[in-house]
Structure formats: C-alpha cells, structure tokens
Amino acid sequence: MTTRPTLRGTFGMVSSTHWLASQAAMAQLEAGGNAFDAAVAGAFVLHVVEPHLNGPGGDVPAIFATADGQAATVLCGQGPAPAGASIEHYRRLGLDLVPGSGPLAACVPGAVEAWLRLGRDHGLRPLRDVLSYAAGYARQGHPLLPAAAATVARMDRMFTEHWPTSAARWIPDGRLPRAWELVRDPAYADVLDRLVTIGEAAGRDREVQYDAARRAWREGFVAEAIDAFQRRPFVDSSGEAHAGVLTGSDLAEWTATYEPAAVGRFRDYEIAKTDLWGQGPVLLQSLAMLDRLPDEALNPSTADGVHVTTEVLKLAFADREAWYGDSGDVTVSELLDPVYVEQRLALVGEQASADLRPGSPGGRTPRLAQHVLPHSPAPTASGLGEPTVSWSGESMGDTCHLDVVDRWGNIISATPSGGWLQSSPTVPELGFCLGSRMQMFWLDEGLPSSLTPGRRPRTTLSPTLVLRDGVPVLACGTPGGDQQDAWQLPFLLRHLVAGLDLQEAIDAPTFHTMSVPSSFYPREMSPGELVVEDRLGDDVIEALASRGHVMTRTGPWELGRLCAVERDPETCLLSAGANPRGAQGYAVGR
C-alpha cells in the first residue's frame, strides 16, 4: 500500500516539491504549452512559494531531452564566481572558508537567466503567460509554509540586528509571519511585471520578448540594483561584516549554457547527470560499481543492500572531494573506466569504513582540502550558513525539485536552489536576496574546486534523467544538499532493478551516509555515521550496527523529497509520483 497512487495518463505529468508549482506547470500544459513552458512556469512559482529553499537570486541545473530526439542535455543555470572573487581577497579578510551566508558568498545568480533561455529556445508560450502565476502569487499572496515561517523566526535576531532589509521584508512592524498566512512580495511582483513589459515593448515575437527580458535582468535594472547593494557590508556567518564582490559586469558577461550530459550505464539503462562541476557523477560512479553485483545484492531494504550501497557511495563521495570541480583535469570517463571501477569496488568490505578514501584515476595522486584532512583545526567561525540536512537527521531545509513530461515526449528534471531568504540580506528594490553557493569553493590553492574567478562552484544540485537505448524514460531528483544522490540511489535500485512502481519506490524507507565532508559551511563531517528512517526495521538497523556503522535513527518519514515522472516509449503511457515526506510534494497529470 502506498501513501498515494502512482499517477498514470497520456497527456502530461508534473511532480514538484510544492503543489502550487505543480499546478502552475500543469496549467501551462493545459494551455497548449510543452514540458519546457511548464517547467519555467513552475520554477518561477517555486521562487515565490518556497522562499526558504530557493529564490530568483539562486541557481539551477536541469537535464532535458526533446521529443525530436535531441540527446540528453544539461541546462547550466549555475552562475560562476565573480571576477573579484580571488582566494587572495578572502585570505586578506582573515577567512579560511568562504562564508556560508552574506554578500561574500554570492555567485552570479543563474536561475532566472537559465529559465528564460530555456523558455526562449524550447518553449511555445508567451512570456507574459508563463510568468503570470509567479507574479500573481507574489502580488496577491500565497500561504506561507510552516517551515518558511519557522525559518524566518530562526533568523529573527539576524534580520533585526544585522540585515534590516530582510527584517523589512519578512518582519514588518516587528511581527513574525504565521504559518499559512498570506504573504506578499510586491517588489518582486514589480520585477516580473517589468520584465514582461520590457519584453513586449521589444516586439511581438516571443523569442525577442524573452531576449529583452534576459537583457533587462543581466544588464539592466536588476543588475544595477544588485551591483549597488553588493557594495554594502553586512554581517555574515563569519561573524564579521563584509561587502560583496559581485558586480553588474559579472551579470552582463555571463549567460546560461547548454552542454552534453555526462552519461553512465547501469543494467539496460543510461543515466544522465551534470559533469564534474556538479556532484551528479557520484551517482554514476556508485551505479557503475553496483552494476557488477547481482540483483539480489542490491535490495536497499536489507542489511546487505544498505551496507554495499552506503560503502560505494562513500567511495564516490571521496572521489568527489579529490577530483570534482570546474577546474579539474580528471574526466567522468576516467572515473567510469572499468578497471578503475573494479579497483574501487574491491575496497568494499564486510565492515563499514570511516575513512575518506579517494582513488587515483589515471595514476594521479589524490589531494584533499586541508580542512577535511584528519586532525584539521575547526573553522574559525560558527553558524550554519546555507541550510542542509544535518548529520543528526534533523531536516533544516535544503532545496526544491521539479520534473515534467508532456504528451510529445519532451522531458525535464530540474533542481532549483540558492537565493533563499536566510542566505543573504534582501535587495529591497527587487524583493529577493542573492545566493551563497560560493561557500562550496575551497580557499586552498590548486584543487579542482578551488575558488577561481569565472569558474562554477562544485554544486550539490543533482537532477537525473534516465534513458533506455537513447530514449528518455524517467526524470527524477530530490532536494537534500549532499544527500541528493544518496537518496536517489536506493530509489533507482528499487524502481529499475526490483520493479517497484514510482510511488512505491518513493515511499520506501531510505537512508544516507554522513561519512562525507559537507559542501555547506562550516563543512563538517561525521565519519561512519549512517542515518536511517526507523521504518527500515530493528533487525536491519541492528545488523548494520554490527558491521560498524554508527547508526542514527530518524522518524519513519523524514529523509528525502523525491519527485519523479516517467514515459514508456512503446505505449506513450506517462506516470508520476511525489514524496509524502514534508506534506507538500505534489504530482499532477492526466
């Protein structure tokens, strides 16, 4: 029995982490739009209704395929480090880590530019229609999620004492917002309306309108407001006040891009992820190791299955620490080389490992950031910075996700994030704040993920597209910081290997390892710790403990916020599932 049905139909399917975004996306399908119009509409709504988990000043990677047979393609809406973001600058400020919040942590905001480019290139609908849902919720109000209200309450002192523009936005007249009360963002509604007005003034052609809105964002009034606001110092998670380094020129010189997806094989499937500037290849490496094992060894509801899945994930994450980044010279092909995969799988033993063990692809010697080496000193600062899922299992917020498939076979998986209300002070003229993704760079020299102007941070955002014989069949993903691929892996094993349908695989109890350095400030780790939903069962949990895993139980429905849509190429039957955890994920379709 599942918590809700797997939806099935032939017209279109949407699954996202908020019902209003899913319904807005479905409305675009009903209006004659395709999956890309739907995704853009839903994503802009997510910026408004999940403000503690993403925002217009954030970022997004997406993976999509078109009905006309285009190969799996990555839309990169991950903005790079600004021109002024050098290691030397941060070291001169006395920092050993990039702060997890505040102006210094802001990359070029990439989400809006990326979504507008996708709508221009692959959508069918007018700009006004696609943005109307988000503009309406921003101007007329949306019911504030309890978690968002709790986030504002947690930030009360920071806002009132140090970030007055955020206090004005979220705590007007000194009163904290209540769960489910209607909250409005007229400044951001004005931004959206102005983008539409500028677009329509440029001409009647929809592509011309989209391009004019993109210029207004990157070179016009939005970039000007961001540039001016970045010159103001604000207290960040280091405990000191710093101005930012992001400028209007940084916005003007960057555009969202398309690139081929990194693809790995598992059984009869091809799994498409981002390249090594994201953590997506962690899933490819893990599946490559597990592909060498029999089906019966891959059941993530047994102690054996949880153990081997966890141990291969640890090895893949260790490689992430040594080899992933926008400045590295290792390739995904080298990490998926059969000889290297066998070498890594041979390290999986009967007992849990608490060591961080990167490999040596191509005979290279791995090097880790000083901060994650054994006996490294604790960071000289405090504070969570950008929230994620803690090692205790406590969910403190993370990110969003959105999947869409239409009746023609267009399909997209996207993980919007960053720019959440607690990441940085609100830019008052715009009604939103900037992101804090730059915290994922290291201030050590010479690493693949060292802070470098013009380079992308090694993001945790990890959408997934699954293909069979080159034809897309599944789009899925989840919020969850570092845990995104750790939660997608058992879902895929249950669905692709064990044959559970989407909702059954989503509902099943899950787990994740904390034996990986966090990508989030202050970048801690908990060697050997395995966090599990207690529905996994006492016998399984005790067996895992006997193998040396340091067990942390959560409640029965705590981990992951998976979304998924699917298409059978032979019958054209569509399906969708959404996560019951958190009581806000929503799938819709017909």
User: What average pLDDT does this structure show over 313-338?
Assistant: 97
Nearest residue to 476 (alpha-carbon basis) of 574, 399, 577 = 577
Q: Residues of the chain with pLDDT > 70: what percent?
A: 96
Check residue 396 and give its pLDDT: 45
pLDDT at 3 over 90: yes
Higher pLDDT, 396 or 146: 146
| Residue 316 structure tokens | 């893949």
- % helix, strand, coil for the chain, step of 5: 40, 15, 45
Reference 455, options 237, 275, 335; nearest CA is 275
CA atoms of 60 and 148, how far apart (whole Å): 20
| b/e sequence 186-214, b meaning 16+ C-beta within 10 Å | ebbbbbbbebbebbbebeeebeebbbbbb
517 exposure class (CB count in 10 Å sphere: 0-12, 13-18, 19+) = buried
Of the two residues 361 and 384, the one the predictor is more confident about is 361
Name the pLDDT band for 384 (thresholds 50, 70, 90).
Answer: very low
* CB-based contact 194:216 (threshold 8 Å): yes
Task: Assess whether pLDDT exceeds 60 at residue 386.
Answer: no
What per-residue confidence (pLDDT) applies to 1? Answer: 81
Residue 382 binned pLDDT confidence (cut-offs 50, 70, 90): very low
For the chain, give the mean pLDDT: 95
The pLDDT value recorded for residue 464 is 98
Residue range 14-26: mean pLDDT, rounded: 98
| Distance (Å, whole) CA 158 – CA 152 | 10
Interval 334-348: pLDDT, tens: 999 999 999 999 999
Query: 356-368, pLDDT tens digit by residue?
Result: 999 999 999 999 9
Report how far residue 534's alpha carbon sits from residue 552's, in angstroms, rounded to the nearest whole number: 9
Cβ atoms of 128 and 136 within 8 Å: the answer is no
Q: What pLDDT digit, counting tens, does each position of 204-241 carry? A: 999 999 999 999 999 999 999 999 999 999 999 999 99
Identify the burial level of 326 via C-beta atoms within 10 angstroms of its C-beta, where 0-12 means exposed, 13-18 middle and 19 or more buried: buried
For residue 278, give the 3-state DSSP assignment. Answer: strand
Mapped to the 3 state alphabet, what secondary structure does 157-201 carry? HHHHHCCHHHHHHHCHHHCCCCCCCEECCHHHHHHHHHHHHHHHH
pLDDT bracket for residue 324 (50, 70, 90): very high
- Per residue in 517-559, pLDDT (tens digit) is 999 999 989 999 999 999 999 999 999 999 999 999 999 999 9
pLDDT in tens, 409-431: 999 999 999 999 999 999 999 99
Average pLDDT over residues 433-462: 97
Q: Residue 373: pLDDT band by 50, 70, 90 thresholds?
A: confident
Per-residue pLDDT at 437 exceeds 70: yes
* Structure token digits, residue 488: 């997608």
Q: What is the average per-residue pLDDT within 580-588? A: 95
What pLDDT, in 10s, does the model give residues 129-178? Answer: 999 999 999 999 999 999 999 999 999 999 999 999 999 999 999 999 99
What is the average pLDDT across 10-33? 98
Q: What percent of the chain has pLDDT over 90?
A: 94
- Residue 141: HSE in the Cβ half-sphere, 13 Å Cα cutoff: 7
Q: Is the pLDDT of residue 583 over 80?
A: yes
- Answer yes or no: is pLDDT of 393 > 50: no
